[in-house]
Every structure is written in structure tokens, then in C-alpha cells.
């Protein structure tokens, strides 16, 4: 009898354990790790330098050159460069501009996508740029904001969060201890933060400008100086004037023309690839530099824009 009781208990324990072991779920596959996105200079006009913030090396930038994060872009007077990102974003860095590419990472994706065909980014990405001086005009496709994508342009007076839009940002240090920041939205929406109680939305057709006290970097320094604002920052918002709107659209069209053959190639999806690559499918063989097709960079506040 005792042996039967022990056998019954053993069978009950085994029967109780079997379903638990059978129900143990298999480990879920891990999501692909983010990789470094790729940036290519699809059009370069004039003297443009790329300075590594890691080792300080400087090189002349040419068309089809790759640009990595932790690089500072310096354009001379009369120069410009169009940078194409593998998430479908493109920016035109105008003359007399200093732009730091702080970070560009994205989830890898499969296949090749023509930049001009992109309406939205293929995965999610994080882009952080720092405009120390000068002017940017950008075209950013629809971002997957709800899944964690971010595209931010930092300036000494605040940050512009791009939501998928065509925009212009100008940061102009003056000679009188003042500086001016203007963001203009041609389409889509930009969100400005940093010097206000809360975010300021800049919808299509609006310009926002900030005026503030500013201490520029020391001579020879490439590190932006945070402004010492001893008076309240002046923030105003206006309708974009026709001449500024036309300027933004003209540069945006130049961007479209420059990137019509560019192709973004995704990583392998394993997290071990090099990320998306932006390359021209047919590099333009030219012996003569193309004539400038964009307006020169503004070195004074945008006409008709009185605030941010």
C-alpha cells in the first residue's frame, strides 16, 4: 500500500511539472541594434572643410565624400554643401556656416530606396545637429516620431525639433554683443524650445525669431559658447514674407535636383552592418563646376522676420 501511495504522489508531481515545462515560451528574437547612419556630400560648391571632432584632422570636402557624426562642417564665403542622410533627410549648408554633426543613428533596413522617392523614413533614427553660425535649409521626410525618431538642430539660443518639413534656420552673431536666430517653416511643422516657458510651434508659413545677448567663441576655437543672456530674450512670430518663402523654396528645389539620383542603402538588419548608405546612382562626371543655383547665405536677420 505504501508503495502505491508513493507511486501516486510521484506521478502527480510529474504530471504537474509537464504542462509548465511545455508552456515555457521560446526566447523572443532581439530587435536589430541601431547602427551609424550614413551621410554623403551630394553637392559641394566652393571651399568646404570637414573637421573631425575626435582627432582634430581637417580635410577638404568634395562631392560624394562620406561624412560621419562628430564632424564639423565649415563653409567659406560663397561656398555651400548639400548633405544627404540615409533616413531621407537632406540639408543645404549655406555660405559662412559652421555646423556640427553630433549624432546620426538609425535602425537598419533592407533594400535600396531612392532618396527622391522617400515620403517617410524607412525605419527610426536620431539626428542631432549643432548650428554655431550661419544658415541651413532642410527637407526632412516624415519622421516616425511616435516610434522614437528625433531630428534636432541645436543653436546657442535654443533647439528646433523637426517634424518632417521644409525649413530654414539662420543663426547670426552680431558685432554689438547681440545675436539673431530665425526659423522659417515652408511646409510641415518645426517645434522651437529652449528660451521660452514651453515649446513654440512654428507651422507652415510662419517665421520665428529670437534676439539675445551673445558672447562668441574665442578666436580659433571651434567650440560654441553658450550665450550669457543678461536681458530677456525677445521672441516674436510673424507670417513668412514672400521673398523669404521664395528663398526657401529655391534652395529646396536645388536640394531636390542634387539628390534625384541618390540612393539610400540599408544595413543587414543584424545590427552588425554599417547602416544606411547614401550614394549617387550615377555620379555626375563634370569637368566644370556647376553654376550656383541657390541664394547666398544671409549674414543679417531675414528680411521681414521679426521674431522667433
Q: What is the pLDDT of residue 274?
A: 38
Q: What is the rounded CA–CA span in Å between residue 118 and residue 141?
A: 7
Q: Is 168 exposed, middle or buried (0-12, 13-18, 19+ CB in 10 A)?
A: buried
Least confident of 9-13, 155-159, 245-249, 291-295: 291-295
pLDDT tens per residue across span 228-264? 443 445 566 788 888 888 888 888 888 888 888 788 8
- What are the residues whose beta carbons fall under 8 Å from the beta carbon of 273, sequence distance 6 or more? 35, 108, 266, 267
CB 28 within 8 A of CB 70: no
Average pLDDT of the residues in 149-177: 88
Half-sphere exposure of 300 (CA within 13 A, CB side): 2
Q: Residue 196 is inside which H or E element, if any? A: none
Mean pLDDT of the chain: 76
Cross-strand partners of 209:
182, 236
**Three cell numbers, residue 114:** 531612392
pLDDT in tens, 88-126: 999 999 999 999 999 999 998 887 888 878 889 989 999
Cell numbers placing 101: 554633426
* Most confident of the following: 131-140, 269-278, 299-308: 131-140
Q: What residues form DSSP beta bridges with 187?
A: 166
User: Which range, 109-123, 134-148, 189-203, 241-255, is most confident?
Assistant: 134-148
pLDDT band, very low/low/confident/very high, at 14 (cuts 50, 70, 90): very low
Architecture of domain 44-268: Sandwich (2.60)
Amino acid 292: pLDDT: 37
The more confidently predicted of residues 288 and 112 is 112
Domain ranges of the chain: 44-268
Out of 19-23, 150-154, 216-220, pick the least confident: 19-23
Mean pLDDT of 22-44: 73
Amino acid at each position: 500500500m505504501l508503495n502505491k501511495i508513493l507511486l501516486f504522489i510521484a506521478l502527480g508531481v510529474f504530471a504537474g511539472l509537464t504542462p509548465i515545462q511545455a508552456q515555457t515560451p521560446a526566447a523572443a528574437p532581439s530587435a536589430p541594434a541601431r547602427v551609424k547612419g550614413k551621410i554623403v556630400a551630394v553637392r559641394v560648391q566652393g571651399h568646404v572643410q570637414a573637421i573631425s571632432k575626435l582627432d582634430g584632422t581637417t580635410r577638404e570636402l568634395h562631392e560624394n565624400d562620406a561624412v560621419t557624426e562628430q564632424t564639423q562642417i565649415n563653409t567659406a564665403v560663397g561656398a555651400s554643401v548639400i548633405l544627404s542622410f540615409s533616413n531621407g533627410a537632406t540639408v543645404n549648408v549655406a555660405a559662412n556656416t559652421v555646423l556640427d554633426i553630433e549624432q546620426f543613428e538609425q535602425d537598419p533596413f533592407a533594400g535600396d530606396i531612392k532618396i527622391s522617392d522617400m515620403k517617410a523614413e524607412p525605419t527610426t533614427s536620431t539626428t542631432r545637429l549643432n548650428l554655431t553660425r550661419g544658415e541651413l535649409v532642410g527637407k526632412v521626410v516624415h519622421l516616425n516620431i511616435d516610434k522614437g525618431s528625433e531630428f534636432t538642430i541645436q543653436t546657442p539660443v535654443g533647439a528646433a525639433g523637426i517634424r518632417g518639413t521644409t525649413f530654414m534656420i539662420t543663426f547670426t552673431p552680431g558685432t554689438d554683443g547681440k545675436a539673431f536666430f530665425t526659423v522659417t517653416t515652408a511646409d510641415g511643422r518645426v517645434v522651437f524650445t529652449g528660451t521660452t516657458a514651453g515649446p513654440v510651434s512654428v507651422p507652415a508659413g510662419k517665421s520665428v525669431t529670437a534676439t539675445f545677448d551673445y558672447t562668441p567663441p574665442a578666436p580659433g576655437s571651434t567650440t560654441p559658447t553658450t550665450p550669457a543672456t543678461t536681458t530677456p530674450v525677445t521672441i516674436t512670430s510673424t507670417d513668412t514674407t514672400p521673398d523669404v518663402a521664395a528663398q526657401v523654396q529655391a534652395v529646396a528645389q536645388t536640394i531636390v535636383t542634387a539628390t534625384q539620383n541618390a540612393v539610400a542603402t540599408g544595413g543587414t538588419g543584424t545590427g552588425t552592418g554599417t547602416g544606411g548608405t547614401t550614394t549617387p546612382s550615377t555620379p555626375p562626371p563634370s569637368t566644370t563646376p556647376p553654376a550656383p543655383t541657390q541664394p547666398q547665405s544671409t549674414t543679417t536677420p531675414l528680411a521681414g522676420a521679426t521674431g522667433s
